[in-house]
Amino acid sequence: MKQFSDKAVILTRTDFGEADRIITFLTARHGKVKAIAKAVRKSKSKLAGGIELFSVSDITVIVGRGEINTLISTRLVKHYANIVKDLARTQLAYEFIRLLNKNTETAAEFAYFKLIKTGFEALDDSSIDPELTALWFNMQLLKIAGHAPNLRSDSRGAKLKSSATYGFRLDDMHFAPQESAGDFTEHHIKFLRVGFAARGPRVLARVVEASKLAEATQPLIQTMLKSSLRV
Amino acid sequence: MAKILVLEADKILAGNLSRYLRNSGHSVTWSSGPQEAIEQTDKNQPDVIVTDLVLGEHSGVEFLYELRSYPEWQDLPVIILSTIAYNDLASTGHSLKELNIAEFYYKSETSLPEIAKAIDLLSQPLQSPAGLGTRTAR
């Protein structure tokens, strides 16, 4: 009987039958995995404790013949308990798993697992502004999916200038210089550069006037998500 | 050249689509909400409407029902360019069949040239086989 163990995060949970549940996990090394957790809704279930939302768990799964596998053991590694203490953070955590579920296939790369794990860690940390975490998460999702904008040169291939203002062109993902006042300046573009390069949202928070820059660039990131990913 | 009405709540997306269509030789008007779009349709008589189904707090489906309630706009070509996939829309119970939609595009899987091509096809008058007149492509 073929089986594997891996670190995993829950993406979806659906009740099935009398006491079973079908769970979609995003794992570190095996991509997206769907497994049935038998009798998990019974009070004496040994599996239930290890499969909480907004957590990282060790799971062991028996590989089934079809699409569905069977979950045989679970152990909670880290539960991000602070997330559910705050409504805004809880909503964002749900949004993170919804976006990842929609935009990953069965063979999801390790980068997606790392992204959701770092996203949960940041939402769990009350010292980090959740809006910055959301912005960083969306930038990283675009980057992993191969839709990062060009933040080095403008649409003509010239270096971005501090004196110019820019509009954004979605068709080639470049900033284009605008003669009349564009929506974006070098500060916005540098902020985006930091966000796309950063390993976590804490780096963004260190930028001077981060909240103001986040507020100005957030609609652009949302537009990029809408035009490039399944939202 | 066609007169196009773009109904899109996202300013950046609308700006990009409008710019691309203008560069392709079309005349473009942008509305961010359904009420404004109805007024613009009345004023500018567009040849094609491109609309999203999610318009801030409003629904594009409601806009389409209102548009189709006017007899003169029942055959006006409408292209949907949406963040909602067709299958997801069907699962919510909405049916677009009765709304006479020319084309349905899912935003994340559609390029601007594809939209421009669809508009070109819909707005070009086709020569009838007998050469007796023209009709609008459907």
Has residue A211 got a pLDDT over 50?
yes
Closest CA to B80 of B48, B117, B113: B48
Closest CA to B53 of B7, B114, B112, B87: B7
For A129-164, what is each residue's pLDDT tens digit? 999 999 999 999 999 999 999 999 988 889 988 888
B12, A171: Cβ pair inside 8 Å? Answer: no
DSSP string, B55-111: ETTEEHHHHHHHHHTSGGGTTS-EEEEESS-HHHHHHTT---GGGT-SEEEEGGG--
Q: Are strands A69-79 and B125-127 parallel, antiparallel or unpaired?
A: unpaired
Phi, psi of A89 (to 5 degrees): -70, -35
Residues B23, B24, B26, CA angle at the centre, nearest 5°?
Answer: 95
- Burial zone of B113 (CB within 10 Å; 0-12 exposed, 13-18 middle, 19+ buried): exposed
User: Is A119 in contact with A181 (CB distance < 8 Å)?
Assistant: no
Best mutation target among A226, A228, A231 (most B Cβ atoms within 10 Å) is A226
Has residue B114 got a pLDDT over 60?
yes
In this structure, how many other beta carbons lie within 10 angstroms of the beta carbon of residue A190?
15
- Burial zone of A44 (CB within 10 Å; 0-12 exposed, 13-18 middle, 19+ buried): exposed
For A4-48, what is each residue's pLDDT tens digit? 999 999 999 999 999 999 999 999 999 999 999 999 999 999 999
- The pLDDT of residue B136: 38
In this structure, how many other beta carbons lie within 10 angstroms of the beta carbon of residue A17?
11
User: Is B11 in contact with B3 (CB distance < 8 Å)?
Assistant: no
Domains recognised in chain B with CATH numbers: 3-132 (3.40.50.2300)
Amino acid letter, residue B123: S
Helix, strand or coil, per DSSP, at residue A117: helix
In this structure, how many other beta carbons lie within 10 angstroms of the beta carbon of residue B137?
13
- Among A171, A220, A230, the residue with its CB nearest the CB of B12 is A220
Distance, in Å, from the CA atom of A196 to the CA atom of A156, rounded to the nearest integer, reads 22
For A80-100, what is each residue's pLDDT tens digit? 999 999 999 999 999 999 999
What tokens appear for A170 in the block?
Answer: 């979605």
Confidence of residue A59 (pLDDT cuts 50, 70, 90): very high
Closest chain B residue to the Cα of A174, Cα to Cα: B16
Best mutation target among A147, A225, A230 (most B Cβ atoms within 10 Å) is A230
User: Is B10 in contact with B54 (CB distance < 8 Å)?
Assistant: no
Has residue B131 got a pLDDT over 50?
no
Contacts A170 to B, Cβ<8 Å: 12-13, 16, 112
Distance, in Å, from the CA atom of A194 to the CA atom of B97, rounded to the nearest integer, reads 46
Confidence of residue B133 (pLDDT cuts 50, 70, 90): very low
- Among A171, A223, A228, the residue with its CB nearest the CB of B12 is A223
Phi, psi of A26 (to 5 degrees): -105, 115
Q: Are strands B27-31 and B3-7 parallel, antiparallel or unpaired?
A: parallel
Asked if B117 reaches chain A (Cβ–Cβ under 8 Å), the answer is no
For A163-172, what is each residue's pLDDT tens digit? 889 999 998 8
For B66-111, what is each residue's pLDDT tens digit? 999 999 999 999 999 999 988 888 776 667 778 889 999 999 999 9
Q: For chain A, how far is it from start to end, CA to CA, in angstroms?
A: 38
Contacts A102 to B, Cβ<8 Å: none
| pTM of structure | 0.89
Average pLDDT value for chain A: 95
Best mutation target among B8, B88, B107 (most A Cβ atoms within 10 Å) is B107
Helix, strand or coil, per DSSP, at residue A81: coil
Distance, in Å, from the CA atom of A7 to the CA atom of B73, rounded to the nearest integer, reads 56
